Amino acid sequence: MSEQEYSLKEAMIYSQRLAQMSKALWKAVEKDWQQWLKPYDLNINEHHILWIAYHLQGATISDIAKFGVMHVSTAFNFSKKLEQRSYLEFFKREEDRRNTYVLVTEDGKQLLDEMTKNYFDSSHSILEGSQPIKNLYGKFPEFLEVMSVIRNIYGEDFMEIFEKGFDSLGQSFNEQDGRLTPTSPELKLASGENN
């Protein structure tokens, strides 16, 4: 181990502060997320798997576990439940028979579209808690330092998938008359987004 560039006291206080803040933030995020999902009879793991599979367009169970920050057995078991509900389908690729891949079905895509359109039908304490910062600075917090910590823990490929998912989400919906609406499938095809 290289020579420490911090005191033990400083390291402990930093680690504990981050742990306590993360737990408090996660509790609020979890509550918001569960309220949003409740009308769709999904849990957080199921929604997260659908979201990852949708944005990766043919993810392996290992990919879902890695990018969903969950155990492989959790990713597999919840994916099977989603398959039983016709939201996911499993398949093998000819060039890679060892891995199992999942793809979001048309029913799964419709569910994700409906959920996104109805996102604001539930309360969001995280948005409400962030609003004073948005009002003051004109934008929501960016968490650049936290993103750097996550990059150092999970790696560059994790961050690439993270950003790809949100870029895809941003291109998949427009705001119209105070509601989120899916972009036209014809526009997606014309721009090559589904390739």
Lowest-confidence region among 42-46, 87-91, 156-160, 171-175: 171-175
Residue 83 lies in a domain: yes
More confident site: 30 or 158: 30
Residue 1 lies in a domain: no
The domain total for the chain is 1
Residue 97 lies in a domain: yes
Residue 106 lies in a domain: yes
- In degrees, to the nearest 5, what angle opens at C-alpha 46 toward C-alphas 44 and 48? 65
CB-CB contact of 114 with 87 (8 Å): no
Residue 187 lies in a domain: yes
Q: Which long-range contacts (CB under 8 A, 24 or more apart) does 77-86 make?
A: 78/43, 78/45, 78/46, 78/49, 79/49, 79/53, 81/46, 82/46, 82/49, 82/50, 82/108
CB-CB contact of 125 with 30 (8 Å): no
Rounded to whole angstroms, the Cα distance separating 178 from 113 reads 16
Residue 155 lies in a domain: yes
The CATH number of the domain where 110 resides is what?
1.10.10.10
Q: Which residue matches tokens 């993360």?
A: 22
Q: List beta partners, residue 91.
A: 101
Residue 68 lies in a domain: yes
pLDDT tens across 29-83, in order? Answer: 999 999 999 999 999 999 999 999 998 888 999 999 999 999 999 999 999 999 9
Domain span at 52: 29-191
Residue 54 lies in a domain: yes
At residue 27 the predicted structure's pLDDT band, cuts being 50, 70 and 90, is very high
